[in-house]
Each structure stands twice: as C-alpha cells, then as structure tokens.
Amino acid sequence: MPIKVPVGLPALQAVIDEGNAVEVLERPTAHTLRVALLNIMPMKETTEADFIRLLAATGEEIELTLMKLDTHTPKHASPEHMNRFYRGFKELKNEHFDGLIITGAPIEKIEYEEVTYWPELCTIFNWAREHVTSTLFICWAAQAGLYQKFGIQKYLLPKKMFGIFPHSIARPDIPLFNGLDSTIYVPHSRHTELKREDIVACKKIELLSESEISGVYIMHEKETRDFFITGHSEYALYTLDGEYKRDVSKGLPIELPLNYYRDNDPAKEPVNLWQHTARRLFGNWLKYYCK
C-alpha cells in the first residue's frame, strides 16, 4: 500500500533501490493513517529507511511525519536535512496522529534526568495521551516511557544483549499477535534491561511477550493503546552486522550477535528470522490500534 513521506526524502529512494515495493502516496485520502516518527536515533536516514521499509509493507495507507525535538540538535545529521524533512514538536503539538513511534537512542547508560532533552521528551509523552491514538515506545524509549509513567527503573547488564532471540507470547488472543507463531524472533542491541518482577508488579501494565534469554519484550499500558517494546523489530537485515563489525574495527569488546550469522560465521550472511514477524506486528498495530 502507498506511503507518503516528505518530498525528496533520501531514505525513501534508498528503500526503493533495495528492491522494496513502495508506492508513493501523492495526497492523503479518507483511509490514510497519520503516523509520526519521533526519531532520536543518531543516524537519521538509516532509521528513516528502517521504518519506511516496514510501514510500507504493512498493507495500510500511511502519511508519515518526521518529528524532531526542539531542544536537541543532532550531531550526526545535517541541519539542512533536519530543517527540510523534520517538523519540531512545537509545530506539531496542536495536531492529532493515529500512531506515534518513538525510537530508542544510544544513551541508555545515562540517567534519565541527565539527558539534556528529558523535559521535552516527558512533555511529548504527556502530549501523546491526548493527541495520539496509539504510541509505540521502542528500545530506550520503552525504558524511558515506563520510568516517566510508572517509575520503573532500568539496570545495567554485565554485557551487551546482542543478537536475535526467541520470544514467547503470553496473550496470543489479542489482535496485536494475529497471524504470528507462538515463538517469534526479535533483534536486541542494548546495554540495559528492565526487570520482569518490576513489570509484573505494576498493575497498570501487562506483559505480553518475553524471552528467557533477553527478558521482557512487549508491554501494554492497560488503560491506553500504548505499547513498550524493548527490541528492534524494525532493523534491516544487515544492521547487527554493521554494529558488530564497527565495534570490532574499533577494538571494542563485542561478542558475535547470537542466532544471527549462518553457522555463527561472520563471513556468512545473516539468517532472516524476524522481518516477517516485524511486518505482521506493525501491520496489526496500525490495523487494530491506530484506527
């Protein structure tokens, strides 16, 4: 189905050049879902492509708005790119969206209150309750959202959680998991975690999916349509490969991503265990929770 993005966005052409079937929506229709992406990842164009690739494959008609923080200037994106393709929160705060995706950020070892844009991010979390039908909090944003809303803490891991992990589904009866197998695979790449006992103890949220290895994965705020997701279902096939080889080249301590390379050999191609699940998961989110 078609997707509308800011005119001239390089990430759209990158996704098309990969061979993905993407139809560009010229103008919104009565069936168009308005989705905002608050992209706080450092490599903007990579993250844009990840979500365009995924959203365009869901079967829904989407108008994607790229949102930026007004109180933060990205170090790895040009001012020209941000000014041309992104809209600040102040500009968007009076608008309504069917869906909002808030990405992670590589700042998980920093205390929340020490993050320079924490006050604005908290404002956006509160704003979304009245202006967004359903919000997805991804990776660090999931940790941040659960902390801001419920005081749930994050904990430093002894080593990086890195690879593709099997997850069970606690509530296969809900629409979010329509068409999915009982075991789903999800990429994780993080240095911190949420404790299962903290999640279960909070009566306002429900644990929907978890892994014996990588821990809690999807949580739902019971009184809303909001979901907190600790993994990276949106990752492209070679994202973990790039992270692994980057750290190796820098001489950083890094283990092979688990369940990722064929025969656990980094000279071989990754095994695609998660992308079908990701398309179904995001498609269900748009179809059943954003309308």
215: left (phi over 0), alpha (psi -120 to 50) or beta: left
The catalytic residue among 167, 188, 220, 232 is: 232
Angle at 103 between CA 90 and CA 232, to 5 degrees: 165
Structure tokens at 261: 């390379």
Q: Choosing from 63, 193, 221, 234, which is the catalytic residue? A: 234
Closest by alpha carbon to 114, among 147, 159, 160, 70?
Answer: 147
> Cα separation of 50 and 2, whole Å?
16
Cα–Cα nearest to 36, from 117, 125, 122, 97: 97
Helix (H, G, I), strand (E, B) or coil at 117: coil
- The catalytically annotated residue of 60, 139, 220, 290 is 139
Torsion of CA 190, 76, 94, 142, to 10 degrees: 0
Tell me how crowded residue 194 is: count the other CB atoms within 10 A of its CB. Answer: 22
User: Left if phi > 0, otherwise alpha if psi is -120 to 50, otherwise beta: which for 149?
Assistant: alpha
State the CB neighbour count (10 A cutoff) for residue 215: 20
* Side chain identity, residue 122: C
Write down the H helix ranges in 57-97. Answer: 79-85, 89-92
Q: What are phi and psi of 93, to 5 degrees?
A: -65, -15
Active site residue 232: yes
234 is catalytic: yes
- Catalytically annotated residues: 139, 232, 234
